Structure 1
Amino acid sequence: MTMFDQDMALREEAGIEPDPVHTGEVTKETQIIAIYGKGGSGKSFALSNLSYMMAQQGKRVLLIGCDPKSDTTSLLFGGKSCPTIIETSSAKKLAGEEVRIEDVCFQRDGVFAMELGGPEVGRGCGGRGIIHGFELLEKLGFHDWGFDYVLLDFLGDVVCGGFGLPIARDMCQKVIVVGSNDMQSLYVANNVCKAVEYFRKMGGNVGVAGILINKDDGTGEAQAFADAVGIPVLTAIPANEDIRRKSANYQIIGRPGSEWGSLFEELALNIDGAPPLQPNPLDQDGLLGLFSPEETGGNVHLVPASQADMRGGTYEIRPSLEVVYDEV
């Protein structure tokens, strides 16, 4: 296939409207929770341990990775990557076969997990892949499955429609944001709160259950953010070398009775009872105000540029050559 043919194929794919996403009432007592955060904020680490703890508490849990990196389940499965829904669907389609649940869903110690995946770099839209992934889940019976919790791991940096699907289509009951005491992760958390506020005004019902503070070094900016937007802190996982090392080695620390297990027991309890709240997102100055000016450059003032500045020298305003005719 030539580059022109590939380009035309991508254009044709982009022009195909996806099937409508299910918008009916939830028929089972399942809490569907979307977790958003900046890439690298620790969503996958937290969710793998949280889902494991919930399963040990006797809950039926389904963990779905909705990040094109497909790394949500890597910690849960000891570093092993599982086949993604998107790549499996493509392979099955070429072979003239249907995708089965056993092709894409795997389990460990009571936790069921799968990855939606994403397209190859430069060859498709990640958000569109999310939409088609959920379409396939519906065909596999998503709305008839019997789980206590369905946890969706979404990349919060991306603001296109596919990644905002759970909020825009009321596919979940509540959202949890993950952040640390740094500007970038709180910026993403604030953007998610803005999305929730926007769709609430449009008639949506999704709310924010709270924030999970990860890599907490005690400086307090994430707590201040939670107070400012009006959401609770569900738990705070400390910046600790033992946690970092075990996570890097794909070890589950969210086990009942373990050193760090109480953190995830608290998180599971708080998530279960947290109501979906309507947040009050901050503007940029409000975000900057959470940090000291020395840390963020908040004491910098905008200085307008002039035409002389743009030319690197002087600039004289010349009379206009426009001809102005007297009105008749």
Structure 2
Amino acid sequence: MNAILNGEATLRFQSHAEILRGEAAIEPDPVATGPAVKTTQIIAIYGKGGIGKSFTLANLSYMLAQQGKKVLLIGCDPKSDTTSLLFGGKACPTIIETSSKKKLAGETVAIGDVCFKRDGVYAMELGGPEVGRGCGGRGIIHGFETLEKLGFHDWGFDFVLLDFLGDVVCGGFGLPIARDMCQKVIVVGSNDLQSLYVANNVCSAVEYFRKLGGNVGVAGIVINKDDGTGEAAAFAAQAGVPVLAAIPAHDDIRRKSASYEIIGRPGTAWASLFEGLATQVAEAPPVRPRPLTQDQLLGLFSAETTGRDFVMEPATLADMVGPSAIARPSLEVVYDAA
């Protein structure tokens, strides 16, 4: 009996060995020597809150879709308003809220629960926690983890546009830059100091991670509500990034945007503006920016605007406690030389 069992074990061992030898004899595929090509352009768009990122992205994504591109627009702002213009003011269910409800019900999130489409544009919102109930940056990270579970890296889009709030500096909002999740960054700014301060911060983040070995670059700046004063264009020139488009501060644009009307459609009065922007976004290479210093940034504006000619006067102890201030000896411990 033992001899039979030993014989069967030997046969199994020989059969397994033959299988392994057969696998080892198969020649591996040749090493790829051509340039690495990513068919999907993943672009992160940053800007100060209220500067018009959602307006710009809704019209840009719509125009790209009308040009035959497959576009996914992902809102990464806790306000969850990136897609509101695209969907006529309707709120899009967020990934974070939907996944929480599905988890409590013991269900899994499906694409149709969080992704919606209009005229060739696919769109979704990551969302964020309610005020005071969690970290918005952590919500972004959780949202992307859910996207990966849904197969994000296998989706066949020509463009994935990520709408990020630029004036928040916690780690989650810098995720695409820090982890090379996108190929390039676009900033939306205007001719005002605060929006250019945010744009400069984004350039600083890109440069910081480039020094650490990152690959993300800045493709350029979109000047929104352009009143012709030129500060944003001057910033772009000093930072070494191109101006992709200048959207004028026009009352027709303001009114149509307020009524949730897409103006980036072929055949409309503003079509050529967004056709040009779509071409620039697709073709502009990511460049390494030159962030400005605070003094250089202030120098873009007149002294009357910024008050930069003001001379700071140091405060004194008497200013803090009044005329009865008594000079006290230092509490610093001074050690004698050994």
Q: Is the alpha carbon distance of 1:73 and 1:312 closer, same or farther for their aligned partners in structure 2, counting shifts above 3 Å?
A: same
Q: How far apart, in 2, do the equivalents of 1:80 and 1:324 lie?
A: 68
Give 1:121 shift: 1.2
Q: 2:178 aligns with which of 162, 168, 171?
A: 168
Q: Name structure 2 gaps, 5 residues minimum.
A: 1-35
Q: Contact conserved, 1:208 with 1:279, CA < 8 A, in 2?
A: yes
1:246 maps to amino acid: K
Partner of 1:224: 234
Partner of 1:293: 303
Q: Contact conserved, 1:28 with 1:146, CA < 8 A, in 2?
A: no
Partner of 2:11: none
Q: Does residue 1:140 correspond to 2:145, yes or no?
A: no
Partner of 1:188: 198
Q: How far apart, in 1, do the equivalents of 2:332 and 2:294 lie?
A: 42
- TM-score with structure 2 length normalisation? 0.86
1:288 maps to amino acid: L
Query: Deviations for 1:168-206, whole angstroms, at most 9, x for unmatched residues?
Result: 000000000000000100000000001001000010000
Partner of 1:311: 321
Q: How far apart, in 2, do the equivalents of 1:239 and 1:221 lie?
A: 14
Equivalent residue pairs, number: 304
Q: 1:82 aligns with which of 92, 98, 110?
A: 92
Q: Is the alpha carbon distance of 1:215 and 1:308 closer, same or farther for their aligned partners in structure 2, counting shifts above 3 Å?
A: same
Q: How far apart, in 2, do the equivalents of 1:251 and 1:93 lie?
A: 36
Q: How far apart, in 2, do the equivalents of 1:55 and 1:185 lie?
A: 28
Partner of 1:105: 115
Which structure would you say has the larger Rg? 2
Give 1:317 shift: 3.5
The structure 1 segments of at least 4 consecutive aligned residues displaced by more than 4 Å after TM superposition are: 318-328
2:186 maps to amino acid: I
Query: How is 1:169-318 mapped onto 2 (pairs within 5 angstroms)?
Result: 169-313=179-323, 315=325, 317=327
1:75 maps to amino acid: L
Q: Is the alpha carbon distance of 1:211 and 1:317 closer, same or farther for their aligned partners in structure 2, counting shifts above 3 Å?
A: same
Percent of aligned positions that are identical:
79
Partner of 2:26: none
Q: Is the alpha carbon distance of 1:83 and 1:306 closer, same or farther for their aligned partners in structure 2, counting shifts above 3 Å?
A: same
Give 1:313 shift: 2.5
Q: Does residue 1:159 correspond to 2:203, yes or no?
A: no
Q: Is the alpha carbon distance of 1:91 and 1:327 closer, same or farther for their aligned partners in structure 2, counting shifts above 3 Å?
A: closer
- TM-score with structure 1 length normalisation? 0.89
Give 1:312 shift: 2.8
Q: How far apart, in 2, do the equivalents of 1:52 and 1:101 lie?
A: 21
